[in-house]
Structure 1
Amino acid sequence: MESQWMAEYPHTSVVDKRPRKRARAAWDIPPLMPPSKVLYCGQEVVNSTSSNHVIASSYDYGAPRNVSPPWRDDDKNGHYIYAIGENLTSRYRILSKMGEGTFGQVLECWDHENKELVAIKIVRSIHKYREAAMIEIDVLQKLAKHDVCGTRCVQIRNWFDYRNHICIVFEKLGPSLYDFLRKNSFRSFPIDMVREFGRQLLESVAFMHDLRLIHTDLKPENILLVSSEYVKVPDFKLWMRTTKDCAFFKNLPKSNAIKLIDFGSTTFGHQDHSYVVSTRHYRAPEVILGLGWNYPCDLWSVGCILIELCLGEALFQTHENLEHLAMMERVLGPMPQHMVNRADRGSEKYFRRGIRLNWPEGASSRESMRAVWKLPRLQNLVMQHVDHSAGDLIDLLQGLLRYDPSERLKAREALWHPFFTRDPRRGVYPL
C-alpha cells in the first residue's frame, strides 16, 4: 500500500548577500485557484485567476479523489516528484509549493475531508531525514498534548508514510518573519510590534522548556505569522528623506499573532548536548567554543532575533567561527576568561596564548575585518534603530546575550522584564 499507516489527530483549534534559507511562502500573492491542467514541479502556471476570494468547493474539482498519481522515482537527492493538481493520497490535493529546505519540501494542499487548506511537509526519502521526521512527530505530539489552546506552536493535523516519504500535515499559517522582512526590503518592524513578537516568542520558548524541550534552531524563518494579511503604512524614516510630493510605504502585518515551527532539531533536555546546533547567525558562544549547551542556547537565539526585527537584518552576518566571536566581542565586549579557558581543542586556535581572541591577526581577509569593525556597541546599535523603549530593550538584550549561559535570563524571567511589563507610553508599570 502506498499509504502504509496514518496517525490521525482531531481537527481542533488546538494542533545582502549572505546566503539564507529559502523563502517559505509568497505572502503577498493571493491564493491561486487550481490550474485546469496538471503541472509538474518546475513548470510555471500560465493561466491563473487573479481573484483574492477562494471558493472552497472549487478545490474539489480536477483530479478524481480516489486516483493516485503514477509512480515516479524520486530525484537524485531523494525529493518527492509531484505535479500541481494531482493527489497526495486520496485525501489531499496539491495546490502549490510553499517552500523547501534540506529536509524536503512543503506543499500547500486542499484537505478533501476537512475542507480546509493545509501545509504538508514531505520529507526526503533518506534514512537520516526519515529518522529526524519521526523525532519531530514525537515532539509535535507532546506539544499538541499540552498546548490545548494551540496558540504557541504550529499544530499537527496528522501524518502518514507515502511512497517512502514521511508526510506531516500542519495547519496552514502565514509567512515567516524572515519572509516578511525580505518582501519588505528588509525594513524593520516598529518597536511595539517587536515587543509583541518577543512576548509571544518567549512564551513559546518557556512552554517548551517547561516540557524539557530545547528548540535549538530559533530564527525568523522558523517563526510564522498566523495570518498572511497586511496593510501598507507610510515609512516615516524614508518620508523625511524624500520630496514633499513623494511618499514611501512599507507593509506591516494586520495581526501580530505568531507561532513556532520546525521542530526537526528539537531535543529533550536529558539528551546529548555536545554537537553543534543552531543556524550560524543565532548560535550561542558556548556552542562555538564546544562547552556543551542546554536551555540557555535558545535564549541567546531569542536575543539575536529581537535585534534583527529591530534592524531588519541579522546582527552577526558571518560564516566562520573566529569572525563570529570577533563580532560578539565588538558588540558585547570581551569574552569571560573562564569560558576561554574551558574551550575545547578545536576552539583553542581562536585565542592567543589562551588569553585573548586572535583578532584581527587571525582574520581571513580585509573584508572580514571591515565586517567586524563596522559593528557598533549594543547600546549604540539599539539607539540608532529604536525610537522609544530603547533603554528597556538594551537591558533585556544584555540579559539574553550574556556570554555565560548560567547567567543568561531564563524565558520566564525575561517575560517579567520591564520591556514587556512597563507601559511604553507612560514609562510606568501597569497596576
Structure 2
Amino acid sequence: MGEGTFGRVLECWDRETREYVAIKVVRSIRKYRDAAMMEIDVLNRLGRYDRYESHCVQIRRWFDYRNHICIVFEKLGPSLYDFLKRNKYYPFPLELVREFGRQLLESVAYMHELHLIHTDLKPENILLVSSEYIKVPSCKKNSQDEMHFKCLPKSSAIKLIDFGSTAFDNQDHSSIVSTRHYRAPEIILGLGWSYPCDIWSVGCILVELCSGEALFQTHENLEHLAMMERVLGPLPEHMIRKASSSALKYFRRGTRLNWPEGAVSRESIRAVRKLDRLKDLVSRHVSHSSGSLADLIHGLLRFEPSERLTAREALNHPFFKVPT
C-alpha cells in the first residue's frame, strides 16, 4: 500500500477477524525498531484515552516477526496527497476543506491535550477513511470541445496516521522536525519548538487543500524564509535576534533577510517572486468565504509561535461556524 524509509505498508487479510487490515512492516534496523516501539506507545496512549472520535488511526495489535516490528492497523483509503495527485492537483471544494480542517484540528487538539506533538503533519499523513469517490464534470477553462472530469471523495471522513516522529512535550526535542514544506519558522531559526509547530503545519495544509499545491515549495532554508516573508510579511526582529548561530547566516545588517543577494539561482528568485500575499492566494482559489478562511490561516501561520491560535481556538473560528 505504501513505502517509506521505515519499511513498507502491506494490505493483508486477517483470517481471525475476517477483514482487511494494513500492516506496517518496519525494517530490522535499530533506529527504526526504536521509533516503531515509540509509535506503538503513542498509538496505545491515543487509543486508551479516546473517549470520542479523535480522527487518529486505530492500532489493532503488533508483533515482532524475524526482527521486524509489524504494526496492524485498520485499513483506510488513500492519503489526501494521493487523492490530489490522482486528481491532477485539482483543489478540493471549500466545503470539503472545511470538513477536513475541522477533523484535522480535532485530532491535533486531542493529541496536544495528551501532551503529544505530532511534528510531521502533511497531506501524505492524512488518510481518507474510504477509497470511494464520484466523478463530476469540472468547469476547467479552455476545454470547449471535451468534457473534463474531476473526482470527489464520497465521504469527508479522514484519519491522521504516522506517529513515528511524535514527541512528548516534556522530552528532549531534536533540533529539526517536520517535512520541509510544512516546517515552522522557529525550527529553521533554531529557536526550539513545541505544540505551535503542528499548528503552522495545519495552516500550510489548508492552503494546499484549497489551492492544489504546496504553499512553500522549497528545499533550502534561505529561500524558505524568503517565501514566508513574501506571503506573510517580514519576520519579527525579536525572533531573528534570538536565532541560533547557524541561522544567522541567512541575515545581513542584523535583521534583514539576505535576499535576493543570497539566492542560489535565478529560478529561486523567480519562485519567490511568483508567490502572492496570503489573502490574495486564498481568494484566487476560493470564491465565497475566502475572507473567513484567509483569516483562519493567518491565525495559524503567525510567525511568533505564542501568537498562533491553539487547535481548540481554531475550531471556534467563524470559518467552521457555517449556518446549517
**Aligned residue identity for 1:242:** S
Contact 1:144 1:150 in 2 (8 A): no
* Counterparts of 2:53 and 2:235, CA distance in 1: 40
Query: Which amino acid letter does the alignment assign opposite residue 218 of structure 1?
Result: L
Aligned residue in 1 for 2:176: 276
SS of aligned partner of 2:191? coil
Structure 1 residue 411: deviation in Å? 0.2
Among 290, 302, 310, the alignment partner of 1:390 is: 290
**Conserved in 1, the CA contact under 8 Å of 2:54 and 2:106?**
no
1:208-287 equivalent positions in 2, closer than 5 A: 208-236=111-139, 238=140, 240-243=141-144, 245-287=145-187
**1:184 and 2:87 aligned:** yes
Q: 1:190 to 1:400 in 2, by over 3 A?
A: same
In structure 2, what is the Cα distance between the partners aligned to 1:148 and 1:166? 28
1:242-293 deviation digits (Å, cap 9, x = unpaired): 21x5221100000000000000000101011251000000000000000000
The answer as to whether partners of 1:233 and 1:249 remain within 8 angstroms in 2 is yes
Q: Secondary structure at the match of 1:367?
A: helix
Secondary structure at 2:246's aligned position in 1? helix
Structure of greater Rg = 1
Matches within 5 A, 1:10-409: 98-149=1-52, 151-236=54-139, 238=140, 240-243=141-144, 245-409=145-309
Match of 1:59 in 2: none
Check whether the contact 2:54–2:110 (CA below 8 A) recurs between aligned residues: no
Matched length: 324
8 A Cα contact 2:136 2:150, kept in partner: yes
Measure how far apart 1:152 and its partner are.
1.3
Q: Which runs of 5+ in 2 are unaligned?
A: none
**Aligned-residue CA RMSD (Å):** 1.0
Distance 1:412 1:297 in 2: 15
Cα pair 2:80 2:127 within 8 Å, conserved? yes
SS in 1 for 2:100: helix
Distance 2:54 2:180 in 1: 28
What's the CA shift string for 1:89-133, capped at 9, x where partnerless? Answer: xxxxxxxxx111011100000000100000000001000000000
The TM-score, its normalising length taken from structure 2, stands at 0.98
Change (3 A) 1:265 1:274: closer
Contact 1:274 1:293 in 2 (8 A): no
Amino acid across the alignment from 2:234: P
What is the letter of the counterpart of residue 34 of structure 2?
Answer: E
Overall identity of the aligned pairs, in %: 73
The structure carrying a bigger helix percent of its residues is 2
Equivalent residue letter for 1:368: S
For 2:216 and 2:110, locate their aligned partners in 1 and report how far apart those are by CA, in whole Å. Answer: 27
Which of structures 1 and 2 has the larger relative contact order (alpha carbons within 8 angstroms, sep 6+)?
2
Deviation at 1:305, TM superposition (A): 0.1
TM-score normalized by the length of structure 1? 0.74
Give the C-alpha shift of residue 405 in structure 1.
0.1
